[in-house]
Amino acid sequence: MSNKGIFYGIGAYLMWGFFPLYFKALQAVPAFEIMFHRVVWCFLFLAVVILVKKEWSNLKVELRQAARPAYLCLGSSPAGSQLAGVYLRGQLRAGG
């Protein structure tokens, strides 16, 4: 049995604990700009991961099944971005 999950859990709690300090440093930056950077950098990071793992063929297959990715994006994107936006706005308004 592996203890990786415990370390991942502790890491996640530590990250969430330090987020207020991070957001305090970003108070002068508009929330929309932070969200925009988050989306762009996540996209670029995932593109690099797909490139390194040589998974372009799998990505093409998934994108050809047009209905499935569209429904997944339509279902998850608004909820995820709204949750992140509310959290980010609250942190920036509260001063970290």
Number of domains in the chain: 1
pTM: 0.51
Question: Residue 12: pLDDT band by 50, 70, 90 thresholds?
Answer: confident
Domain interval for residue 86: 4-94
Rg (CA), the chain: 17
**pLDDT > 80? residue 82:** no
Q: Tell me what the mean pLDDT of segment 43-64 comes to.
A: 81
Amino acid at 82: Q
Question: Which pLDDT score is estimated for 16?
Answer: 81
Supply the DSSP string of 37-86, one letter for each residue: HHHHHHHHHHHHHHHHHT-HHHHHHHHHSTHHHHHHHHHHHHHHHHHHHH
- The pLDDT value given to residue 13: 86
Is the pLDDT assigned to residue 59 strictly greater than 80?
A: no
